[in-house]
Amino acid sequence: MITLVLSILSILSVTEFVLGNFTNGFIALVNCNDWVRRQKISSADGLLTALAVCRIFLLWTILINWYATTCNPALYSLRIIIYVAWTVSNHFSNWLATSLSIFYLLKIANFSSLIFLHLKWRVKSVVLMMMLGTSVILLFEVAVSSIDETIQTSEYERNITEKTKLRDILHLSNMTLLTLTSFIPFTVSLTSFLLLIFSLWKHLRKMKFNSKGSQDPSTKVHIKAMQTVISFLFLFAIYTLTVILTIWNSNELQKELVRMLFQVFAITYPSMHSFFLIWTNRKLKQTFLSFLWQPRC
């Protein structure tokens, strides 16, 4: 029974990996092709392209880490490189998706606050400064995780089982930092979603005597942006919970079934969210449908 479940989870994991690479590659290819053709790219398309590229790297690091842990323990010595690669790709994947949520909020929402209007007029600078600011956190995160993984790898190779106070402090610091860096972008995206709901509510109150009702363009744009953000929040919540459980329950990962289950949940986020991004983007959706129908024609 356990063998059957493991086989199903393995097939599901590989399927998600292939589909994730296809959808993210599709987003990057379409936007890059449009960039070359028009000699310019919009801010939204630039964010989507960078996000797609980062998610491809994230998918590969997750798969390589699973292979090194499960199928080929001889690659344990490369654990530091794999872990740093995952940390970097995970960081940019999370924060680029969060930047996209903030971009939608500032471009679509309508508030009379002077601070909001100031940010709305400088949306590109806001996104750029946020990415640069979080890069400082990334450097600190890479440094702590590298030291922690170096100590653990050294002890594993020398077969040392006794724990030291320094190792415990470093490992606890690394787990706490990873938890915070996963939780903060989720909180920011959730705040953006709630503000979009509030903005839509205010807009509908103004439009309640309008014959167009919910058919006016602003309402449609609000709803489409909310669909994109809520799909991201749902999948990101699963991914964040998986990462936190992986960090704080490392002993449970010795069980192959639990490890494989976590693997499936981890790959779901960078794979499935890209489908929602394609489906809610008019240009990507039209190109994708044309791609599907072309072989039949």
Contact 107, 181 (CB under 8 A): no
Assign 3-class secondary structure to 139-201.
HHHHHHHHHHHHHHHHHHHCCCCCCCHHHHHHHHHHHHHHHHHHHHHHHHHHHHHHHHHHHHH
Confirm if 85 and 56 have CB atoms less than 8 A apart: no
Q: Could you tell me if residue 294 is inside a domain?
A: no
For the stretch 61-85, pLDDT in tens is 988 877 776 666 666 567 778 888 8
Residue 296 lies in a domain: no
Contacts of 156 (CB under 8 A, 6+ apart): 76
Residue 166 pLDDT level (bands cut at 50, 70, 90): low
Residue with tokens 């964040």: 240
> Quick check: 50 pLDDT over 90?
yes
Cα–Cα distance for residue pair 198/201, rounded to 1 Å: 5
Range of the domain at 221: 1-279
Average pLDDT over residues 205-224: 66
Q: Is residue 191 part of a domain?
A: yes
Answer whether residue 289 is part of any domain. no
pLDDT digits (tens, 9 = 90+) for 230-284: 888 888 888 888 877 777 665 555 566 777 777 788 888 888 888 888 888 888 8
Residue 46 has pLDDT above 70, yes or no: yes
CATH number at residue 17: 1.20.1070.10
Say if 217 falls within a structural domain: yes
Residues 162, 112 contacting (CB under 8 angstroms)? no
pTM, whole model, 2 decimals? 0.85
**pLDDT attached to residue 29:** 93
pLDDT of residue 56: 94
Q: How many domains does the chain have?
A: 1
For residue 105, being part of any structural domain is answered with yes
The amino acid at residue 14 is: V
Task: Return the percentage of the chain with pLDDT > 90, whole number.
Answer: 13
pLDDT of residue 55: 93
| In the block, residue with structure tokens 């679509």 | 108
- Specify the pLDDT at position 216: 66
Residue 293 lies in a domain: no
* SS3 of residue 116 by DSSP: helix
